[in-house]
Amino acid sequence: MLNETHDPALRSWVPSANDAGSDFPIQNLPYGVFRRAGSDEPMRIGVAIGDQVLDLAAACARGAFSSGFSRDFGDLGGATQQAARHVCAPTLNALMAQKPAAWSALRRALSRLLRDSVPEAERLHDCLLPQGEAEFGLPAHIGDYTDFFTSQYHALNAGRLFQPDNPVLPNFKCLPIGYHGRSSSIAITGTNLQRPWGQVRTPGATAPVFEPTQRLDYELELGVFIGAGNRLGEPIAIDEAEDHAFGLCLLNDWSARDVQAWEAVPLGPFLAKNFFTTISPWVVTLEALAPFRCPLPREASDPATLPGLWPHGGHVGGAIDIQLEARLVTPRTGSAGLPLTRTSYRHAYWSVAQMIAHHTENGCNVRPGDLLGTGTRSGPTHGEEGCLLELARGGQDPLHLPNGETRSFLHDGDTVVLRGWCERPGQARIGLGECRGTVLAARAAPARAETHEM
């Protein structure tokens, strides 16, 4: 549902928030965790507004969310103060644990405080820090991480490489497939990735070898942060599932494709995936994304979705038209890099609500701050493939970049930059920021990497 915070005519007293190309206008107001770069200050919660961060702890210290601070809080006081009690913290977990009514009230209060010409602006100016002077931490303590497989086009493109006789497995259109990842190796944007070692078996070889991966890949994904959780043994109903989703970020699920090919059967991804995952620092709320909802793609020939995964409203509004882009920066491209992927989240076969409902339908409990990956986001046309595995057809058809370089998989020194944004006539542009990581050379060889016969 749309409300006053979505009004495209709103402007902010923070000038950069009014720039046409800004990711963070007043209609967005995503949350993150930050501190002054190079300092030993504690991490704290902030809200992105233009090129600035509003320090919520500092704003609270000035009484920003108290009933007497603003004449505009008459209808929001109780719910706002309830939510504001949880923003003076080093992570978003406590705020995530609240209900959507509290999140919405806090968002409206922030919108009213940051609007152009409000008399309270002068009292909040020194609560701002330029984003360029901040360093960011993980938005939440991530207790668990589950990565899903929800793009029918990724399933088709990857399936043609791995099982050409049956590229899309029969269960794909019956349930959102997922696997349990490692929360311990999730890192914030800008953290460098060291090329991992792993066990691989090259085509034609009779035995595996242990070596640095030669097929390092990116995966263009979104991350879903869980809000309030559920009790063990009590599933989350499909019609209530979105009330348990706090917001979205960008996510790069780096993958070692040669390790994956050798280890994945029969239990799925393990060391090929769990060595590193990068996320962006800002969590964009589902409420901010409401103007960009659209139907989930379905075809008449698709199997009927079981009732537990089909909301009363059907597929209307299940998808979100988030434009997604991956760019490659090499020592030869310059800082802007070159485009690799451009697609949209509107192509998702399974929704955020369906991922949460399926994750918990057996009674599995999720908790505030848990992270779900949407799986690689690919679209129906060439150039919308969300990873190099698809773009270069497993290395069979290397990419020829405009600057003369070629890529089948990532080289040392390569930087992958993911971006996401929403644009629609009559609505303010909503951005997700960027998710960036650079590949470093593999560590030195282990002391004993040779094969020993028994």
Q: Which residues contact 139 (CB under 8 A, 6 or more apart)?
A: 31, 32, 33, 91, 92, 225, 249, 279, 281, 282, 283
Sorted by sequence, the CB contacts under 8 Å of residue 193 that are 6+ apart come out as 254, 276, 278, 437, 438, 439, 440
Q: How many angstroms from the chain centroid is the CA of residue 145? A: 12
Copy the structure tokens of residue 428.
Answer: 């303010």
- Picking from 157, 92, 93, the residue whose alpha carbon sits closest to that of residue 392 is 157
* Side chain identity, residue 77: G
Cα(144)–Cα(333) distance, integer angstroms: 37
Distances (CA, A) of 164 to 168, 377, 382: 9, 20, 19
Set 154, 347, 358, 359: catalytic member:
154
32 membership: H or E segment, kind and range:
strand 31-36
Give, for 84, the enclosing helix (H) or strand (E). helix 77-84
Asked if 6 is an active-site residue, the reply is: no
- In Å, how far are 1, 355, 380, 417 from 152, measured between CA atoms? 28, 15, 9, 24
CA atoms of 33 and 337, how far apart (whole Å) = 27
Q: What is the DSSP string of 323-371?
A: EEEEEEE-TTT-TT-EEEEEEEGGG-SS-HHHHHHHHHTTS----TT-E
Residue 409 CA, distance from chain mean position: 22
The number of angstroms, rounded, from the C-alpha of 266 to the middle of its chain's C-alpha atoms is 28
Tokens, residue 77: 């006081």
Distance CA 322, CA 223 (A): 13
Q: At what angle do helices 100-114 and 77-84 cross, to 10 degrees?
A: 100
**E-strand spans in 173-300?**
177-180, 186-188, 193-194, 197-200, 209-212, 216-217, 220-226, 245-252, 255-256, 277-279, 284-285, 293-294
DSSP string, 162-176: H-TTS-S-TTTTTS-
Alpha-carbon span 156 to 349, nearest angstrom? 12
Catalytic residue numbers, as ranges: 154
